[in-house]
Amino acid sequence: MTIQNAIADLSSLLGDRLQCSKAELEAHATSEAHFPTTPPDAVAYPLTTAEVSQILQICARHACPVVPWGTGTSLEGHALAIKGGISLDMGRMNKLLEVHAEDMDCVVQPGLTREELNQALRTTGLFFPVDPGANASLGGMAATRASGTTAVRYGTLRENVMALEVVLADGRIIRTGSRARKSSAGYDLTSLFVGSEGTLGVITELTLRLHGQPEAISSAVCAFNSIEDAVNTVITTIQMGIPMARIEFLDRASVRAVNLYSAAGLPEQPHLLVEFHGSPAGVAEQAERFGEIVADMGGSGFKWSSKTEERNALWDMRHKAYYACLALRKGSTALVTDVCVPISRLAEAVRETRADIDASPLPGPILGHVGDGNFHAILLVDPQKPDELAQARLLAGRMAERALRLGGTVTGEHGVGMGKLDYMRSEHGLAWDVMAAIKNTLDGGGILNPGKVVENEGDNRTVATK
């Protein structure tokens, strides 16, 4: 019952699709965030669901941890094999299996990325709207309940996954949901696996909801004197029922960063970046009504455009904001953290967080998906100075506690992984025990992504020794 025995059996099963080279292990040892390099013991590349099932049966027999891997772009260390074992790289199961244009859905393998899917859908008039920034795999996006800039209009992966095929820890293959738009036939297992971060099963197939490519798109930028004015603009816009496709907030520090990095040329004030999707007349009307609200709130510099180039430049700037922030401090790495609060408490949450970061020696721009009440702090630390990371952790911890105090959640979209485990008890109370009970029911041996979501420091599950 050791990881090495599992590797021997997996090697017989997979041949050269079971890799133990230094390069392979290192490629599955890091994430885009600040966590220490954590190589797995081996990397497996399954090609079929049946093979995933066999892999899990072998790993269950040897109590060998299995950590599913998509593109490694998650931000809380989700895909790191912190208890050793196998990194299960789904990258070769990356086919677009079916497109049902009339039903506006498609069936994909988990390794397909969202950009690959949208590229393939280009001529169908349909698209998959959820956009977390990174070109993540769709399996990874489902596993982490990803969202991003467009969730305010189209929802998160929770709203856009219709059905799943999942391999359980014991190798059983189940299907949840169907291609019907709705169902009340029993427990919503699809929603249970979406966001379970690989701890309850391995997603091997997804049925995704698609949306019509908007006939027209307009976008706009505007500056405000205060965070409150920007947030109140968003609240009024939502209450008036103006359907925004994206509405992003940048604080002064973020604006400084994108000015330096992307030569954005924006005044150093809090900004909103918005996008509208609809008919040509519809987006014009929406942009104009939004402009009136901006004027009422004392906003300035409002202009809207339906020109593709201007729009692309805007969202390119936004998508590079993370790298723009990193460039504020040469050689830095970032502790990126997110929280989500009811929108009525958002200004308060951002203002207090801003003051807390400003009182620390660390630079930390704030930006976010303000229509959902979701915002991020990018805390820049010198990787050579462990005390800075410790300080960033304290700031992130206070952000999480603040979010809970204001009726929100410790993570709106980044997930739990390792980074938010310490706040799960505070957020969920006894409900965290229910999560642990479900985990124990579906993965009694604790082989699926151990140490994440439901398990904390005091964890005493047994996993195999090497």
Q: Report 259-288 residues binding a copy of itself (CB under 8 A).
A: 278-279, 281-282, 285
Alpha-carbon distances of 38 from 79, 112, 386, rounded to whole Å: 10, 25, 17
C-alpha closest to that of 146 among 108, 196, 112: 196
Q: Is 141 in the site for a copy of itself (CB under 8 A)?
A: no
Identified binder of a copy of itself from the candidate list 87, 219, 409, 449, rule CB under 8 A: 409
Footprint (CB under 8 A) of a copy of itself, residues 209-248: 211-212, 214-215, 235, 238-241
Interatomic CA distance for residues 379 and 355, integer angstroms: 13
Residue pair 228/249 in contact (Cβ under 8 Å)? The answer is: no
H or E segment and range at residue 408: none
Q: Which two tokens stand for residue 458?
A: 């005091």
DSSP readout, 324-347? HHHTTSTT-EEEEEEEE--GGGHH
Q: Is 313 in the site for a copy of itself (CB under 8 A)?
A: no
Q: Is 95 in the site for a copy of itself (CB under 8 A)?
A: no
Could you tell me the smallest distance in angstroms from the CB atom of residue 137 to a copy of itself? Answer: 16
**Residue among 246 and 256 whose Cβ is closer to a copy of itself:** 246
Interatomic CA distance for residues 271 and 226, integer angstroms: 9
Q: Which two tokens stand for residue 104?
A: 């506006």
Residue pair 252/269 in contact (Cβ under 8 Å)? The answer is: yes
* Number of residues counted as binding a copy of itself (CB under 8 A): 91
Identified binder of a copy of itself from the candidate list 415, 419, 450, 451, rule CB under 8 A: 415
Q: Which residue in the block uniquely carries the two structure tokens 């990325």?
A: 113
Stretch touching a copy of itself by CB under 8 A, among 23-31, 52-60, 81-89, 186-194 = 186-194
C-alpha closest to that of 158 among 412, 464, 408: 412
Q: Which amino acid is at 365?
A: P
Stretch touching a copy of itself by CB under 8 A, among 103-111, 248-256, 297-305, 322-330 = 103-111
Could you tell me the smallest distance in angstroms from the CB atom of residue 390 to a copy of itself? Answer: 23
**Residue among 324 and 339 whose Cβ is closer to a copy of itself:** 339
Footprint (CB under 8 A) of a copy of itself, residues 156-185: 156, 158-159, 168, 172-176, 178-185
Footprint (CB under 8 A) of a copy of itself, residues 332-361: 340-344
Stretch touching a copy of itself by CB under 8 A, among 10-18, 84-92, 206-214, 323-331 = 206-214
